[in-house]
Structure 1
């Protein structure tokens, strides 16, 4: 795993270099702050970045950082057996930590509402990575289930009671 993490760090630093946004990437200090607790973190050190550069890397609704994270996971896990693959989170300026807290709160609100009303709850406006996180978070909840409906870019996550006919 250490060599895979080191490769991810080097790959991300090289990508940022190609983008003209040279930065150091660290891999420590983010244990247990993600919904997916088995993820490994690649943190971009933003010292020296302007607010505009930070926003450019995060993108609108996190689209840029999600794309970078998707590429990182694809490339770092390339040619690895599925059981040898790892999940990587790309962090920048606390964005992922804050967004994970927002997703946890949103998930709690949805689960409370489903249990209260017995009606399914639709959560629109999530990226595919965020939908995956909520699916993961609720996968072992006995009375609830999740599914995604619709086509991108209007795909929505549905939280509903397990064994519901809705």
Structure 2
């Protein structure tokens, strides 16, 4: 078993235990999906069929704040003692929420990139979670003419897209 597989299995077990402690017992599947999140991303997919509609709503309310909180915990706790260069990024998914949000996000970002290229003026994107900002930074690493940076302090942290 590779280190990635071992870490992913540990993450799966950790999330199942956390959900149980939250009185939301559910199975978790490990997935690998490339949506601009980088090669070391591990998707932890919660089986919503084992949860009530109210429990699912708790996780997805307020633009997925509950899911974001769990994902933030996963990325912090599961990378304790791991060198920054070796961090594995975990994406917590339920009912296709992350995939849908990423699709919307990348459409929005592509429109912003087109505008920056046409006008030469930078654009600030607001109302993004830290995980979404990370995904956009990773997405733009492959662009030759554009770069990104984060500015400000939470909860008003913004992502800026500009020409290199």
Cα shift at 1:150: 2.1
1:98 match: 100
Match of 2:92, SS state, is strand
Cα shift at 1:153: 1.2
Q: Distance in 1 between the 2:38 and 2:134 partners?
A: 13
Q: Distance in 1 between the 2:94 and 2:125 partners?
A: 25
2:21 match: 18
**Alignment RMSD (CA, Å):** 1.5
Cα shift at 1:52: 2.2
Cα shift at 1:89: 0.9
Note closer, same or farther for the CA distance 1:57–1:122 as it changes in structure 2 (3 Å cut).
same
2:8 match: 5
Q: Distance in 2 between the 1:92 and 1:25 partners?
A: 10
TM-score by length of 1: 0.89
Summarize deviations over 1:99-158 as a string: whole Å, max 9, x none.
111111011000001111111112111111111111111123121111222221122111
Summarize deviations over 1:3-54 as a string: whole Å, max 9, x none.
21111111000000010000000113x432x221321111000003233211
Contact in 1 for aligned 2:25/2:51 (Cα 8 Å): no
Contact in 2 for aligned 1:138/1:146 (Cα 8 Å): yes
Match of 2:100, SS state, is helix
TM-score by length of 2: 0.90
Q: Distance in 2 between the 1:122 and 1:83 partners?
A: 28
2:69 match: 67
Cα shift at 1:82: 3.2
Could you tell me which runs of 5 or more consecutive residues in structure 2 were left unpaired when the two chains were aligned: none
Note closer, same or farther for the CA distance 1:128–1:17 as it changes in structure 2 (3 Å cut).
same
Deviating beyond 4 angstroms after TM superposition, the runs of 4 or more aligned structure 1 residues are: none
1:158 match: 160
